[in-house]
A and B are shown apart, each in its own frame.
Chain A
Amino acid sequence: MAENGEEKLIAVARHIAKTLGHTDTMTDDILKIFSNFDGRLREKLTEKLSEDGVEQTLNALDRQISRYISADNPIWSNSADAAAFLGSVDQLIAAVRDWTPLADDKSISSCLDRAEDLLQQSMFRLEDEFRTLVERGAESFDLTLSESTHPHPDYSDYDDDDDNVFADEDENFIPVAQQITDYDIVIDALPAGTIGDLHAIAKRMVAAGYVKECSHAYSACRREFLDESFSRLGLQKLSIDDVHRMQWTQLEDEIEKWIKAINVALRILFPSERRLCDRIFLGFSSAADLSFMEVCRGSTIQLLNFADAVAIGSRAPERLFKVLDVYETLRDLMPEFELNFSDQYCLSLRNEALTIWKRLGEAIRGIFMELENLIRRDPVKAAVPGGGLHPITRYVMNYLRAACRSRRTLEQVFEESIDYRKGDDQVLSSSSSLAVQMEWIMELLERNLEAKSKIYRDSALCSVFMMNNGRYIVQKVNDNELGTLLGEDWIRKHTAKLRQYHVNYQRSSWSKVLGVLKVDNSSTSPSGASKSLREKLKLFNSYFEEICRTQSSWVIFDAQLRDELRSSVSGSLSLAYRNFVAILQAVPDFGKNADRYIRYSVDEVEARIGELFQGTSGGKR
């Protein structure tokens, strides 16, 4: 009775274990719990295993497996073989697991040794099959991204079969051979079937404790794929030294290639690798994370090293625009870095990207400092003939205008280091850091121009020079981002300055002439008046002649300004001259001979004024 009851109990225990355990592992665990519960149960529950059954099972498995292990052709070239082999390996893994707790038994122990030996050989074979599948799978695809045969939207939560659900989505209609403009795609680097096979193998290798070998084989192959993709994108491996020695034009080309490559890498290749990894190592997140990092690490470092080399490189002002491109590229990809490299293994790559991005910002600030130095050091000695527009004005203004097209980026760059001008007493407060920077550069430019104006000995020419350059500056500032940054006050102030230069010009070149034409007819005798008028006329003729001769070679680059200047001169002068001539002609003993003394008619004076500022060659600019 007792015996019978015990048998029943054991049968029930087995039944419970089988029913509760959805997997072999669970069944095994449950049996173990029962066994621990009562020593007698252990004996009974495992009793069936300890006999010939073990050896028979093992021999059968050995026959099935050995056939495959020694096969010359890839097992996975035939799916039935693959399935059969996997089935046998599953049984073997389960057998090893079942027998391990019973290893104290000598006969079981020796079977276990044989089983483990067989397991090891199976694993080696699986590793080889795994490697072959990854390599062949990648080979079957054309690696050129723009010709990728399977671009499809990134709905990684869905299986391939579900893709037709989204057939109406635009992405599915991207013509296959077109240049990729939308990066929001994930490629299937391996055929879906292969991915399934690889997952099946990975599962067994993990179960048998060969996860390291599996991950290693995986990442070595995928790294190779990524590397090839990179060279197809035209990316070279460059050291910092290489980048520094490179001609700027060549480096510009490299930067273009880099921008394309890093976008493709972060938006397409890495997410695709992530997805592939997650699918092959489904359920083994740590192995997936580690393998993914191993795959992407080298490429990521290569990409970041280049950006770093650019950031560390020369800060010549002409580099600003390309460095801005690199900065913006990295900035815009930061979310992708976060997304792709969110796990613990990739954390350092993400931080590295952040550091290098910040360093590019620093480089941009450095470039502005170089611009400041360039302005400061622009030699004062060489005067522009005719007081015309100085090349430095033209350069700086066009540079700043172009730079301000990236105003938002620059604002970001300068906000990042508020203490950039710390200790510098020229700091202007209450506006954005970039505005402060721009005002500061404008001030440097003006100081430099003022110093340059001093080398003109003629103070009128000095004013013409300042007018020309000031006019150009105000024109370039108006109606664009630079003007917005500098503000209306700044523009108003500078327009007023221009008027002041105008007044200075008038005063220093024409006040003498106008002074001559002033007639004081109250206190002189007629004959004295006549004599003094003749003198005045002579003086006028010579002054006017001289000024016209000198100033016809001066330059006003802007037609409107030139007309304004001429008409304001002729406005004041011709009126005064007309009056003077009228007085002359009214003097009795002079009027008759007036034409002998009057060299210029009023019209002629106006005509001569109209010939001012034509430049040395007489041509107009």
Chain B
Amino acid sequence: MPATDFQESSSSPSSFGFSILSRRRDQVHSMESTHEATSQEIELEAFQRQVAERFQDLAAADSHELLSIPWIRKLLDTFLCCQEEFKVIVMNNKSKLSRPPMERHISDFFERSVKALDVCNAIRDGIEQIRQWQKQLEIVLCALGNQRSIGEGQFRRAKKALVDLAIAMLDEKDSNTTLAHRNRSFGRHSAQKEQRSFGHFRSLSWSVSRSWSAARQLQAISSNLVAPRGNEIMSTNGLNVAVFTMNYVLLFVMWALVAAIPCQDRGLQTHFSVTRQCLWAAPILSLHERILEEAKKRDRRNSCGLLKEIYDIEKCARHMNELTDSIHFPLTDEKEREVKQRVEEVRRVYEAIRDGLDPLERQVREVFHRIVRSRTDGLDSISRANSHD
């Protein structure tokens, strides 16, 4: 009977697993143990619904919001909320989770979440990286922002900051070739020397070894992540669907972070396969698709992160570079107006980053701490439930 139920329910696109449970609940309504089972089922269904609603909300973002710092923060908020709700489920089901087959599922989830911790740390490094770029923008503003009149000196100063910015933003693989073109107003140092110190500068920003790879880490989180089968859903009362859901949320959030923020060996090839029957599958898959499309765009393909603000940095730096290349002194009034306009653009980008990065970093840290906490609490309570058997 469970098998038929599953097949039936899988034909309706918006429900997965839970329709069986609700149907069975109706069937067994008169039985004695109904009350407890029902409250658990309600809890699990509510979890599915809330995850779905939150991701629908995220997916409602227009193309300007998507992958912006505020959007990433909302994504992390979503993760934290899901994590909290999941934690309650774990606490309420500790004795079930301490026995097979759920024991294996939950320890598997905790293993994956430990892998996510390294992603969080890499993202923190990435945020620090963006902060270094922010400093160069600040110098541009300092040079051109509050000046009585804008002279060649200020332009050279801004230009140098822009060159430093461009080098810092380059992907590792391209960095060496472009370094030779590094343009200084005067040069006593050989290009080689600058390359050396620059190389060090970059490596110092990462707290993990040079061989660490975000793509590999995502691969590890996603490996063997398969949707639960119908008969197991029945035998676990749908508990394994909740664990699968949380696994998937974890994977997607980490993947999106890696997509948005610079880190070592960003690869977005992680395979997302989830049956559309999960309530939350549609919004997550649509977000996945939109982010991948963004990554394929010509002007973003070689970017070091899909974060909207990074794109803004690239754009305003490019505008500024074009402007500084086309400029002749003395400045015409028209040029001066253009400079002012560009400086304003830089200022807007700079301010968005300045105001956004600190709370973002704190939130990434919070996600890290929460993952650790929920894992520790989960393992403790399950092991305690085990010992009282």
- Contacting residues of chain A (220-272) with chain B, CB-CB under 8 angstroms: 220-221, 223-224, 227, 236-242, 244
CB closest residue in chain A, given B329: A113
In the complex, per-residue mask of A472-484: 1 if CB is within 8 Å of any chain B CB, else 0: 0000000000000
In the complex, per-residue mask of B132-164: 1 if CB is within 8 Å of any chain A CB, else 0: 000100110010000011011110110010000
Q: CA of A224 to CA of B149 in the docked complex: distance in angstroms?
A: 38
**Interface bin, chain A:** 35 or more
Inside 8 A of B153's CB, which chain A residues have their CB? 116-121
User: A362 in the interface, Cβ–Cβ < 8 Å?
Assistant: yes
Inside 8 A of B383's CB, which chain A residues have their CB? 369-370, 373
Q: A125-B186, A212-B142 are in contact. Are A223 and B157 (CB under 8 A)?
A: no
Pick the contact of A237: B117, B149, B209 (CB < 8 A). Answer: B209
- Contacting residues of chain B (71-119) with chain A, CB-CB under 8 angstroms: 114-115, 117-118
B206 close to A237 (CB less than 8 A): yes
A121 close to B209 (CB less than 8 A): no
Q: A69-B186, A100-B148, A298-B207 are in contact. Are A369 and B121 (CB under 8 A)?
A: no
How many residues of B are in contact with the other chain, CB < 8 A? 49
A312 close to B114 (CB less than 8 A): yes
Nearest Cβ in chain B — how far from A423, in angstroms? 9
User: A585 in the interface, Cβ–Cβ < 8 Å?
Assistant: no
User: B336 in the interface, Cβ–Cβ < 8 Å?
Assistant: no
In the complex, per-residue mask of A283-313: 1 if CB is within 8 Å of any chain B CB, else 0: 0000000000000011001100100000010
Q: CA of A103 to CA of B139 in the docked complex: distance in angstroms?
A: 24
A223 close to B160 (CB less than 8 A): no
B114 close to A241 (CB less than 8 A): yes
User: B39 in the interface, Cβ–Cβ < 8 Å?
Assistant: no
Nearest Cβ in chain B — how far from A421, in angstroms? 10
User: A606 in the interface, Cβ–Cβ < 8 Å?
Assistant: no
In the complex, per-residue mask of B192-227: 1 if CB is within 8 Å of any chain A CB, else 0: 000001001101111111101000010010000000
A369 close to B208 (CB less than 8 A): no
Pick the contact of A212: B139, B152, B204 (CB < 8 A). Answer: B139
Inside 8 A of B189's CB, which chain A residues have their CB? 128
In the complex, per-residue mask of A359-372: 1 if CB is within 8 Å of any chain B CB, else 0: 10010001001101
Inside 8 A of A224's CB, which chain B residues have their CB? 197, 200-201, 204
User: A213 in the interface, Cβ–Cβ < 8 Å?
Assistant: yes
- Contacting residues of chain B (291-340) with chain A, CB-CB under 8 angstroms: none
Q: CA of A223 to CA of B212 in the docked complex: distance in angstroms?
A: 21
User: A492 in the interface, Cβ–Cβ < 8 Å?
Assistant: no
Q: CA of A305 to CA of B125 in the docked complex: distance in angstroms?
A: 12
User: A499 in the interface, Cβ–Cβ < 8 Å?
Assistant: no
B207 close to A213 (CB less than 8 A): no
Q: CA of A109 to CA of B135 in the docked complex: distance in angstroms?
A: 30
Nearest Cβ in chain A — how far from B209, in angstroms? 4
Q: CA of A69 to CA of B184 in the docked complex: distance in angstroms?
A: 13
User: B185 in the interface, Cβ–Cβ < 8 Å?
Assistant: yes
Nearest Cβ in chain A — how far from B106, in angstroms? 16
Inside 8 A of A216's CB, which chain B residues have their CB? 135
Nearest Cβ in chain B — how far from A211, in angstroms? 9
Q: A120-B154, A240-B114, A305-B121 are in contact. Are A135 and B197 (CB under 8 A)?
A: yes
Apart from A120-B152, A373-B383, 18 more pairs, CB < 8 Å = A74-B188, A121-B186, A124-B184, A220-B197, A220-B200, A223-B200, A227-B204, A236-B209, A237-B207, A238-B208, A242-B208, A242-B209, A298-B205, A302-B207, A312-B375, A362-B376, A366-B380, A370-B383
Residues of A within 8 A of B (CB): 69-72, 74, 100, 103, 109, 112-113, 116-121, 123-125, 128, 131, 135, 209, 212-213, 216, 220-221, 223-224, 227, 236-242, 244, 297-298, 301-302, 305, 312, 355, 359, 362, 366, 369-370, 372-373, 376, 424
